[in-house]
A and B are shown apart, each in its own frame.
Chain A
Amino acid sequence: MKNASAWFAALGGALVLGTMVWSEVIVQQPDKKEGKVIVTYWEKWTNFEADAMRVVVEEFNRSQDKIYVEYLSVSNVSNKTMLSTAGGIPPDVAGLFGGNIAQYASNGAVMPLDELAKEAGIERQQYIPVYWNMCTYRGKLWALPTTPASTALHYNKGILEEAGLDPNKPPTTIEELDEMDAKILKRDASGKIVKMGFLPTEPGWWPWSWPSFFGGSLWNGYDKITMATPENVRAYEWVRSYTKRYGLGTVQAFQQGFGGFDSPQNGFLDNKLASVIQGVWMYNFITKHNPEMKWAAVPFPHPADRPDKANTTVIDLDVLVIPRGAKHPKEAFEFIKFVQSQKGMELLCLGQKKHSPLIKVSDEFIQAHPNPYVMLFAQQALSVNAASPPKTPIWPQWGDEIKTALEKINTDPNLSVKDALLAVEQKMQIQLDRVLESERKLGILPEDGSRPSEDQL
């Protein structure tokens, strides 16, 4: 009996040990495949966007015989990259969001790419400035672009016509936009809104960006958050003017009638909303869900008294990084370099039907591009009023605070916009101060507290 229990325990122990070793074997995948170095690449995209990158990856794998890129579509990619980096088993390349870079760079979670880029002949001048700038933090290069996006006002010509408006004369100022909305607005017998010209909270993806359109800014670019400037207050007052004018409940009910973004019930694609601020990708969804729609894209309107704010656009960017502790950084960069070549980039951006982040674009790219407005988006990105989110590690939290503040402003007609913005400012300034302090301690910033030069921000 004693013997039996000892055997049993030994067997159990061996099983546990075996499982541990086995799981380790699974995790430690072979480094090489048919003599090639395997580079693992995690990317956020799914669907046709993932397919576009798969074509580029296959092209790269065919182009040489030393490196094999293993491409994996991963959900929630920034969290998984973060955790795997902390655990010491990151992928060799990760496709993150432009807004993640400061957070990752400040935490030393990604490799600086300056040296590798220099060797490969990749330089700032080759890129549309706003996109390159999003890839840098504190004077170093941490990422390189994949597909970029800028935004414009997309409008439905058919609805403008129905309302007796000239479909070839879209609004150019905020005031004209409001007028257009007033003319298009339709209610049914019960008072329910069934059609609107514009609605600032649809889709409401960039609540932080409204100040840019009114000449405001969220901070001084380094150490001072300025949420409650008169321009910013004006911007959010304007956003709220829509729910104030038509009634909160009525607008909410109208908006709840919209289905998901990528569905035929999308308010704009369902001909319920005449215009919407959207990115270069919107073309894909129009052709998918409402190919009959007669539409156009134009720069988003500016306030009549701020003509200097014409061509304001919201910038979004997807990027490639090499996480800290990646096993094959050199080989990983070979792949990134391939994506950055004009050929690789145009293959990817054409596949995703976006514009290229590179300054140089081939004629074939423009001709083959199905989006008739693709050059508008490229030009918008070159505008001096191209607005990208603040480069700071606290941005994810800060952005969420702004989103919540706007929700509060929108749902409470009596709330002081200034107070709501001040609350965000006070809360986030504390966090910003702490981040700057720890960056000083880590030597990322000069210890004397002086403001670094523009290119070191």
Chain B
Amino acid sequence: MAKMGQSERRQALAGVLFAMPYLIGFSVFLAIPLLTSLYNSFTEYSVLREPVWIGVRNYADVFKDELFYKSLGNTLFFAAFSIPLSTIMAIALAMLLNTKVRGQAFYRTFFFLPSLVPAVPMAILWLYLFNGDFGIVNAVLKIPYGALGLEPPNWLSSVDHAKNVLITMSVWTVGNAMIIYLAGLQEIPQQLYEASDLDGASPWQKTKNVTIPLLSPVIMFNVLMGIIGSLQYFTQAYVLFPGGAPARSTYMYSMYIYDTAFRDLRMGYASALGWVMFVIILTLTFTAFRFFDKKVHYEG
């Protein structure tokens, strides 16, 4: 290996120095906590006392834990409905907002607005909308339900319906994804649409054969982010349904981690839960990546 000259060494030093803020930040705020939590996951650790090594007991417990399956099931259920629904909603909105109409800027702002509402006030707002006694949702649903001689459900206290509230809420805040889709739509070359017009393609054919394929890299990005985000879903569920009420039907995986760590002071077990979730997210993301990789159409 050639010896570095003085100036090269200086350059290398400057490079390292410039990278330093990131390297320090990465190790202090990411690498060290990550490794510590990996270590803690093999210990019994109350935060207030030194961790005690217990080998793989936490991991063995995780797979025997009924609440692990319950909260994971709830989270996957939420993800399974929320991701496809929000994706369809976001693409549909983006396509509508991409059409050249008067007041385009107004509509774009208008549909983005819900995403600007902070999570907690939004959860409270939906709490009122879905109230079983005076909520506007049931006031409207009373008409079709009443026609069938039925009562609309008690969304917030029914074990079967509480999760649907969370899914509906998530579809309402697709603004961020919508903006990304909109940007993706504007990247699609106009001449492709002109060409398909000349060939007499219907709007549906244009969507199916031009828009969706050319939008696929953006869809992939949004779906991957959606998987990661919805598996970590916490705030709205925590505000709307304290303790996962009713009967833990809305108890999300991240709520379980939080309660275990900060209410029960079982940081070791909570760390193990966290690492299991990490592996699950990694696997799902990887699978989704492989699935998309064959379908995604990359321009150029």
Contacts and interface: CB of A to CB of B under 8 A. Distances in A.
A108 B49 contact: yes
B247 A407 contact: yes
Interface in A225-252: 249, 252
Interface residues of A, number: 40
25 contacts: A2-B10, A6-B14, A9-B18, A12-B21, A16-B24, A79-B262, A82-B265, A86-B48, A107-B47, A109-B48, A249-B153, A253-B151, A253-B154, A256-B156, A257-B131, A394-B264, A397-B264, A404-B244, A404-B248, A407-B245, A407-B247, A411-B157, A411-B158, A411-B247, A434-B44
Given A9-B18, A407-B247, A407-B248, 8 more contacts: A82-B47, A86-B48, A257-B134, A324-B48, A396-B263, A396-B264, A407-B245, A427-B66
A252 B48 contact: no
A5 B14 contact: yes
A239 to B, nearest CB: 14
A418 interface: no
Interface string B57-92: 000000000100000000000000000000000000
B17 interface: yes
Contacts of B7: 2
B125 interface: no
B122 to A, nearest CB: 18
B197 interface: no
A262 interface: no
Contact of A254 (B133, B159, B243, B244): B133
Interface string B224-246: 00000000000000000001111
Contacts of A12: 21
* Chain B interface residue number, banded: 35 or more
A83 B47 contact: yes
Contacts of B248: 404, 407
B185 to A, nearest CB: 41
Interface of A: 2, 5-6, 9, 12-13, 16, 79, 82-83, 85-86, 103-104, 107-109, 249, 252-257, 324, 393-394, 396-397, 400, 403-404, 407-408, 411-412, 423, 427, 434, 438
B131 A256 contact: yes
B183 interface: no
Contacts of B133: 253-254, 256-257
B42 to A, nearest CB: 16
B184 to A, nearest CB: 37
